[in-house]
């Protein structure tokens, strides 16, 4: 199913009225493959999209946008764990709800993350102390050049903070078509962040964690159906221990989260907030007044408004703290993905 020169407004949560040459809704691997082959024959750009919850279109896209709609959730049980095989076109939050309804805990900290299942491995999505890599068993990838499907096991995916092989070697010419998840029957609650730290680990249930996470996210993050946004616009920066210690001397209240790598994760929203940027506006784009990490389409913003605002935020934080923020969002130009840091530098 496709239509010529349609608007992508309903396919990106920033609500930008960007056009593409064509949009294809693909509910099978074969449909994705056919759209790819057509784009190759016509020498036009090709973009695979989920719900558009983590993209900033910089301009009209000069090719075909394929919307992944591959569905299906299969659950199997083994002695120590449940195993899920999930189509890439399934909604992520709905999957979290479904697993809890079936008595399969483990995804509750990842509730209300927008987007589809197929997008989750690209970013190695994470929230409140849990990342996708903690539950991922494999990712099924369609090779667009020859039509074969390859299963990449978790260790092959090169997961790290908001990063994976799907942003590098497997970025072009591949499509994620399914995700395998492994949920242990020896469930352990993760209560390290925010309001979760107030819950009693001895009595807490996965449903309580789910409800608390939903409340926290809804209190901080605007509903993209009402106010265009892509959630967290910037990554939480990772800095050296020495850099973190230096910042602590000047700002004793700075949130800091030591990592297994030896680096320290800082809270980008806190850094932006210290620059007093909540509500700051350029054109139709603004920094959200409740959560500084979110940039919003407040009033018919253009892509240029959002880029200018992101540049300004990055400069303010860089000059004040010596920490240079990087977008978590994928920047898409007319021919495909652009380097987001280069665009806003």
* Residues carrying an active site annotation: 162, 232, 328
Find the angle CA(42)-CA(16)-CA(34) to the nearest 5 degrees: 25
- Helix residue ranges, H only, the chain: 29-42, 92-101, 120-123, 206-220, 241-250, 268-274, 303-321, 340-344
Q: For residue 120, what are its two tokens?
A: 């989750």
Cα–Cα dist 92/113, whole Å: 7
Residue in the block written with tokens 């092959």: 156
Cα–Cα dist 160/179, whole Å: 17
What DSSP character marks residue 92?
H
Cα–Cα dist 253/20, whole Å: 46
Q: For residue 93, what are its two tokens?
A: 């939050």
Q: For residue 96, what are its two tokens?
A: 């979290």
3-class DSSP state of 52: coil
Q: Are 116 and 50 in contact (CB under 8 A)?
A: yes
């Amino acid at each position: 199913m496709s239509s010529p020169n349609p608007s992508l407004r309903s396919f990106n949560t920033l609500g930008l009225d960007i056009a593409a040459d064509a949009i294809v809704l693909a509910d099978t691997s074969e449909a994705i493959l056919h759209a790819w082959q057509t784009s190759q024959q016509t020498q036009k750009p090709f973009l695979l999209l989920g719900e558009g919850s983590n993209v900033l279109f910089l301009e009209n896209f000069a090719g075909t946008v394929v919307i992944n709609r591959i569905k299906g959730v299969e659950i199997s049980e083994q002695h120590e764990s449940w195993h899920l095989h999930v189509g890439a076109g399934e909604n992520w939050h709905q999957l979290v709800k479904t697993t809890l309804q079936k008595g399969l805990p483990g995804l509750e900290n990842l509730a209300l993350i927008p987007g589809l299942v197929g997008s989750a491995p690209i970013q190695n999505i994470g929230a409140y102390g849990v990342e996708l890599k903690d539950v991922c068993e494999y990712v099924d990838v369609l090779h667009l050049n020859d039509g074969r499907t390859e299963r990449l096991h978790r260790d092959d995916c090169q997961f790290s903070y908001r990063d994976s092989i799907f942003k590098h070697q497997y970025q072009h010419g591949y499509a994620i078509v399914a995700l395998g998840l492994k949920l242990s029957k020896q469930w352990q609650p993760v209560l390290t962040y925010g309001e979760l730290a107030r819950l009693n680990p001895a009595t807490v249930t996965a449903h309580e964690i789910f409800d608390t996470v939903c409340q926290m996210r809804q209190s901080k993050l605007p509903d993209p159906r009402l106010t265009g946004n892509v959630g967290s616009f910037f990554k939480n920066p990772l800095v050296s221990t020495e850099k973190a210690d230096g910042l602590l001397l000047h700002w004793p209240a700075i949130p800091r989260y030591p990592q297994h790598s030896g680096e320290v994760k800082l809270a980008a929203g806190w850094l932006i907030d210290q620059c007093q940027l909540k509500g700051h506006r350029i054109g139709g784009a603004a920094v959200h007044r409740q959560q500084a990490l979110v940039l919003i389409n407040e009033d018919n913003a253009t892509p240029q408004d959002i880029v200018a605002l992101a540049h300004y935020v990055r400069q303010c934080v860089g000059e004040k703290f010596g920490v240079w923020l990087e977008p978590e969002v994928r920047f898409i130009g007319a021919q495909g993905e652009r380097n987001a840091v280069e665009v806003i530098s």
